[in-house]
Structure 1
Amino acid sequence: MTDTATSPPATADRQRTTSRPARPPHRRPTLWQRVKRDKVMLLLTLPGLLYFLLFHYVPVLGFMVAFQDYEPYLGYMHSPWVGLDNFTAVLAAPKFWSALVNTLEIAVVQLVFFFPVPIALALLLNSVLSSRLRRFVQSVVYLPHFIGWVIIVSVFQQILGGAGVVPDLLDSAGLPRYDMMGDPEAFPWLLTLQLVWKDAGWGTIIILAALLSIDRGLYEAAAIDGANRWRRLWHVTLPGIAPVIILLLILNLGMVLSVGFEQILLQRDAVGPDAGEVLDTYVYYHGVRDNQWGTASAVGLIKALVGTALVLGANKLAHIFGHEGVYRSADR
């Protein structure tokens, strides 16, 4: 009797549950709804977007000059098209290949001897216990970044030039005078030394930010397991900042053919064009100054294509080794 009395209400509850309307599926916000929702953030990013649009994307249209016998008074629309003649002229010029070799030599030296310096400096600053001392050192090493290349080259001229402090010290010690500023063989090393002094401190900002994002609990767990300072550095710190290091390395590879136009232009005459000519100065002297606009644009397009290929190749290699790189692949 009890089962018979309770079964009708249970059946009614089941019917009410069955007849309840289904909840509508969650709809993804439309583009306009997302724009209205994030309008403040979009307004904050608008200046940066306009900068890249005006100074990086719009000038890409100028690469059409590489396929024209460009005349400034005729403009893009009326200058005659010459196809690949500008590229043929560039690749047949011995001075272009000399500038390319100098560019690659300087780029390799800077990549090997400058790129690790901000990482090492950031690790040293991160190990300083006193926050006051850390802030003082950071301010000192950041300061040269805001000094122009004209002043920096002048300072190095006063130190390493023919009448500088170092040659005077060598002369007073009975050793032959050495003018590093005028030595063609030492030119890549001189540029790297100047770059380290100017931008090593500035490059530590990103590495220090990556170090701060590492979970402190990992260091505590490693210390409990008996890992000393070097083991914690190798197994916790370096893996923690490895994605940032790989990202910076890929971006630097994209700029491998741009080794500092202003810095080299100021010192090119001291070592001569055979050692001081790079692709950027080649474009200036043999393209812009001599009104060879087509060949100058062709060299610029070659630089852009090589940089893009290096970024894509390095990013693919990073994916193979399990890192994200600049962007994720479609299958990750």
Structure 2
Amino acid sequence: MSNTKLHDIAKALVSPRKGILAADQSPNSMNKQLEANGIPPEAEMRRKYRQLMFTTPNIEQYVSGIIMHDGTIRNYTDDKTQFSDVLIAKGIIPIIKVDTGTVSHSGFPGEVVTQGLDGLALRLSEYYNMGARAAKWRAVFTITDSTPTEQNVVFDMIQMVRYAALCQEAEIVPIVEPEVIFSGPHSLERAEEVTTMVLKKLFELLIWYKVDLKGLILKSSMVLAGSEYQEQTPAKMVAEATLRTFENSVPPDVPGIVFLSGGQTPQRATENLDAIAELEIARGNLPWEFAFSFSRGIEVPVQATWLGKEENIPAAQAMLLERLKLNSMADQGTYEASMG
């Protein structure tokens, strides 16, 4: 595949009015979500839930790509159609999560590093044959007075850069996700400082190792004070800090930036997305396309509507479409909090 093809896929992932749906929770994480809604935490219920999502009529109006876990991309609908084929038929790009989680960073208490490089080239080839044309790798950084350390950031970003290079060699667009965790008592200023530092180091290393920036997507946290901070950050301040961070750290060659919801409530994540879009429109000169890439920020009300019951599928699919529509509107700066 030529670089041009990778560029085209990256641009398609941040198409106007569309976002990337993050449906890549591990079986354990998914089971906890199901149990919270009184749904049996079983493989078949996980499959039925993903089938509900992927077969939602008209989902392609608001979704450019869907991120899947290894077990999900290998799964099928009731009529034995592979999930990735269902998405491709709708014009949705199948995306595969390829990191294998985090482990403690030896010598750096309280910090973790992401694993998953072992055998990745072979796995990417297999995923490509399953229809995946993009992949995702997540690193995690927790803010305290002393973390993240520069050593931890550099170590983790080198793993992410190696992943990105392997993806492009495999003709797959890498989504790089250095998540700065929302949990904690840190201020907005501290969140901006850490997010800027992490992104600067990531792109410094991507450029140094000659990864094609036009053929990747950044998945980023919004910049906001921690969940335990004394007061919630107003959406306008979130937007200002977030765009300022990107202007100070993300090269203009990157085609798009998608936002994770990061533990925010569905409504708050949508409100902050709308504020970012409004400021982007007002500025009018930013080089990147912006989009949402939410998981809990969309799925929480869908699961609460479904409850594992066949008769609730139409209502749950309607709820999914409604949450996607609201976030699509927020991505255009036309959302109002009264909409839900």
Structure of larger gyration radius: 1
TM value normalised by structure 1: 0.23
The structure whose residues are more often helix, as a share, is 1
The structure whose residues are more often strand, as a share, is 2
Q: Give the number of the structure with larger relative contact order, counting CA–CA contacts within 8 Å between residues 6 or more apart.
A: 1
TM value normalised by structure 2: 0.22
